[in-house]
């Protein structure tokens, strides 16, 4: 018998339902044909990494800004070199 694999979307759905606490873990386990322990592990993992969701957006924005700045500096450097070359050719 092979192991079942669950998509992140499915795990998130189960965890969010568990966080709502409208149903017990045993009821959710029966509904999704899982073990209650598995749902608890997913819930614990979700909660431990939840803080990082907001940090990643900030880091991603900084990385995008940094990449854009680097690209602009490259263009400026290239234009300066072309400008210097044209000045020398006119002399």
Per-residue pLDDT tens listing for the chain (91 residues): 788 899 999 999 999 999 999 999 999 999 999 999 999 999 999 999 888 777 766 666 777 888 899 999 999 999 999 999 999 888 7
Q: Residue 1: inside a domain, yes or no?
A: no
Q: Residue 14: inside a domain, yes or no?
A: yes
The whole-model pTM stands at: 0.58
Q: Residue 62: inside a domain, yes or no?
A: yes
pLDDT at residue number 57 = 62
Domain of 66, in residue numbers? 8-90
The number of distinct structural domains making up the chain is 1
> Which whole-number Å values give the CA distances from 84 to 73, 76, 80, in the listed order?
16, 12, 6
């Amino acid at each position: 018998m092979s192991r079942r694999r669950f998509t992140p979307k499915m795990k998130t759905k189960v965890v969010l339902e568990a966080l709502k606490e409208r149903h017990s873990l045993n009821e959710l386990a029966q509904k999704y044909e899982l073990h209650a322990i598995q749902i608890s592990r997913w819930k614990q993992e979700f909660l431990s990494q939840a803080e990082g969701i907001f940090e990643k957006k900030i880091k991603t924005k900084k990385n995008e800004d940094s990449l854009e700045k680097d690209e602009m500096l490259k263009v400026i450097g290239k234009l300066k070199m072309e400008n210097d070359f044209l000045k020398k050719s006119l002399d």
